[in-house]
Amino acid sequence: MELAYYSDYAVRLVNTEEPARNKDSLTSVDAIRELFGASSQPARRATDADVTRFRSVRARLRAVFTAADSGDETRAVDLLNSLLLEFPVNPQISGHDFRDEDGHPKWHMHLADHPSNATAGYAAIAAMGLAFHLTEYGVDRLGLCQAAPCRNAYLDTSTNRSRRYCSDRCATRANVAAYRARKRLETERTERSASTGRTADTTQETSPRTDR
């Protein structure tokens, strides 16, 4: 598994909460296991205590995205470094599930399961994956959706660094909202112009004529 794959761990965890909508799907051990994937060893070690711990890590990861989205690169890096120090990874070279045409393993880096608990294992993977993405592509590639009220996290992989939304759905919703706002503004301007014209005509009709 390439290290770039692990960056999505952070996005998935952050997006279990939608603060503006007062929604939180991270409420059970099953929700944690869904983040890992059912076949993952650390997922099977998850307990009720991990729910609170996962929420704490989630808040810290969201803070990284928030800092990056606001242009505060130094703060984003500092916050991510604190996670890397607290949750170190256990890298290993692995060849499982990947074979070339001759049946030989395709060796790749794998972030091994953390021995202490499910939260530590997930946090280590998420932080390392996000750190890899940040250093490879830049802090400005970490963003928060601009389609209010959604503030889901995303990783910008566009060629021109132009991504602003977490999904096509949010992009469409934002474009429709912008279009409707423009139409309302055009209607208001037309109505004001017509009203101004009517007022001018009325003034001309009621004004007394002065004969010279």
Note the pLDDT tens digit of each residue in 46-73.
999 999 999 999 999 999 999 999 999 9
% residues pLDDT > 90 (the chain): 51
- How many angstroms separate the CA atoms of 179 and 186, rounded? 11
Task: Give dist(CA 108, CA 156) in Å, integer.
Answer: 24
CB 122 within 8 A of CB 9: yes
How far apart are alpha carbons 16 and 13 in whole angstroms?
5
Provide the mean pLDDT of the chain: 84
pTM score > 0.85 for this model?
A: no
Asked if residue 211 has pLDDT above 70, the reply is no
Query: Residue 144: beta bridge partners?
Result: 153
Residue type, 184: R
